[in-house]
Amino acid sequence: MGPMGGMGMGGGMGQMFEAPISTRDLQKYSEMLSLTPEQRETLEILLEANQQEFNEKAGEARRKLESLREEAREARDPSVWRDMGTQMDAFRKARAAMEAGFFNDMKALLTPAQTEKFPRIERQRRREQTIGMGLMSGERTDLVRITADLQLAAEQRAQVDPILDQYETDLDRELQNRNAVYEESQTRIRDMFERGGTDDMQRALERGREASMRVRDVNRRYARQIENVLPDDVRDRFAEQVRRESFPMIYRPSMASRVVEAAAAFDDLDDNQRAAISSIRDSFTRESASLNRQLEQATVKNEETLTVQDMMSRGFRGAGGNDEMESLRDKRRDLESSTLDKIRAILSPEQIERLPRRDERQGGAGGNDRGGSEQRRGQPQQQRRGRGEGDGEATPPRRPDSRT
C-alpha cells in the first residue's frame, strides 16, 4: 500500500492548511512538562508569532494553488498539475520547518529535568499526527487511545501502563521509518507516472507496504499483550474496539443493524412479533459475523498482494478490493436486504413508519423501500459494485491522549 495508494504526508490538503501547533497542543505539553508560568507565557508569545507566520504562508500558497487550478481549467495543460504538486511540496516543507522551529524554541527554554521528558512529547505527537496516514488494516489503530477510552481501574492500569510505554517506543520507531519512506516516495511519484514504467512504481509500492506492515504488526503484537493482562469483560471490549478500528469500513453500522435493533426495542410488539424479531436478530448477527471475518481475511490478503498492475486496472483505487471481496460484499448486501424485508414483513404499517430511514445520499444496501431485495436481485453483478462499500481504512476520530 503506502505511497502508491494516493496518500500524502501530513494528511489531506485541508489538514495541511491548519496551523501545525494549536493553543490546545501547547496546553497539553505544558502540563506534561510542568512548565512554569514564565515559560508558558514565553511560549504563548512564540506560538502567536508562529501561527501568524503560518497563516501568511498558507494564504500565499492557497492563492498560488487557486491560480494554478484556474490555469489548468483554461489551458488543459497537464504540466500545470505538476506545478501544483511542486507548490504543495514546497508548502508542506515550509510547514514542517515552522513546526520544527517552534519545538526547537521550546526545548531551548526547558530545564534539564523537563528536557528528559521531551522525547515522550515527540513520540506522542508523531503518533497522533501521523498514525492516521497509513492505509493498511490495523496500521492506523492507536492502542494508547483505545486503552484510555476503557477507563481502567488503577490496578488494571498498573498492569497495562508498562506495556503501553514499550508500545509507544516500538511504534514510534516504525512510524519514523514509515513516514520517511512515504516522504521520499512522495517526491518521486509524479516522475514515475510521467515516465510510465511500472517497475519503479512497484518497487515504491513494495517498500511502502513493508514499512506499513511493520507498523501494523507492532499494533497486532501489543494488542495481544494488552489483552492478556485485562480481565475478561474488559478484554472483550478492548478486542472488539481494536477489531472495529482495524477494519472500520467492515464494521461500520449498517442500515439493517439499525433497523433490527430499533424494531427489537419497540414497546408495542406482540409476543409473536417479539419472538420473530429475536430470531431474525440472532440469525443476522451470526451470519454477519461470519461474512465480516471472511472480509477481514480477504482484505488483508488483498493489501499484502496488491500490485501496481492491479491498481492501474482499478483506476488506482487501491482500497476497492478484488473479486473475492466484491463477492463477499454482495453476500453481505443481500443478507442486509433480506433481513430488512423480513423485519418489515413482521411489523404493521404504523410500526414500519417508525423504523430508521436511510439517508439517500449514503447509498449502500437496505433502502427504506419495501422492494429493496427484489430490485437488487434484478441488477447485473457489474451494477451492484462500487456503492461505497469499500473496506479500506477510515480515520477514527482523534481524541486527546490521556496518558499525561
pLDDT digits (tens, 9 = 90+) for 311-357: 877 665 544 567 899 999 999 999 999 999 999 999 999 999 999 99
Question: What pLDDT was estimated at residue 190?
Answer: 66
Q: How far apart are CA 307 and CA 162, in angstroms?
A: 39
**Selected residue with higher pLDDT from 68 and 254:** 254
The answer as to whether 331 is a domain residue is yes
The answer as to whether 399 is a domain residue is no
What is the separation, in whole angstroms, between the first and last Cα of the chain? 33
Q: Virtual CA dihedral for 117, 118, 119, 125, nearest 10 degrees?
A: 120
The answer as to whether 209 is a domain residue is yes
Question: Residue 358: pLDDT band by 50, 70, 90 thresholds?
Answer: confident
Domain boundary among 212, 246, 280: 246
Residues 218 and 310 in one domain: no
Mean pLDDT of 104-113: 97
Q: Which long-range contacts (CB under 8 A, 24 or more apart) does 233-238 make?
A: 234/150, 234/152, 234/156, 237/150, 238/146, 238/147, 238/150
Residues 60 and 195 in one domain: yes
Question: Residue 369: pLDDT band by 50, 70, 90 thresholds?
Answer: very low
The angle at the Cα of 126, spanning 50 to 107, to the nearest 5 degrees, equals: 50
Residues 6 or more apart whose CB falls under 8 angstroms from that of 189 comprise 3, 4, 204
Mean pLDDT of 117-131: 94
Mean pLDDT of 131-157: 95
Total domains in the chain come to 2
Q: Which of 16-30, 34-48, 184-198, 390-404 has the highest mean pLDDT?
A: 34-48
Number of Cβ within a 10 Å radius of residue 282: 11
The answer as to whether 385 is a domain residue is no
Per the structure, the complete domain to which residue 301 belongs is given by: 255-377
Mean pLDDT of 82-105: 89
Q: Which of 8-22, 111-125, 190-204 has the highest mean pLDDT?
A: 111-125
Question: Residue 196: pLDDT band by 50, 70, 90 thresholds?
Answer: low
Question: What pLDDT was estimated at residue 372?
Answer: 37
The answer as to whether 319 is a domain residue is yes
Residues 327 and 191 in one domain: no
Question: What pLDDT was estimated at residue 161?
Answer: 97
Residues 6 or more apart whose CB falls under 8 angstroms from that of 223 comprise 141, 143, 238, 239, 242
Assess whether pLDDT exceeds 80 at residue 382. Answer: no
Task: Please give the share of the chain, as a percent, with pLDDT higher than 90.
Answer: 64
Question: What pLDDT was estimated at residue 366?
Answer: 40
Domain boundary among 246, 277, 301: 246
Q: Is the pTM of this model over 0.85?
A: no
Domain boundary among 197, 220, 246: 246
Question: What pLDDT was estimated at residue 287?
Answer: 98
> Where do we find the cell 494564504?
59
Average pLDDT, the chain: 84
Residues 62 and 162 in one domain: yes
Residues 284 and 232 in one domain: no
Residues 190 and 330 in one domain: no
pLDDT tens track for 258-307: 999 999 999 999 999 999 999 999 999 999 999 999 999 999 999 999 98
Residues 56 and 124 in one domain: yes
Question: What pLDDT was estimated at residue 299?
Answer: 95
Number of Cβ within a 10 Å radius of residue 237: 13
Instruction: Quote the distance between the C-alpha of residue 295 and its chain's center.
Output: 17
The answer as to whether 324 is a domain residue is yes
Amino acid found at 170: D
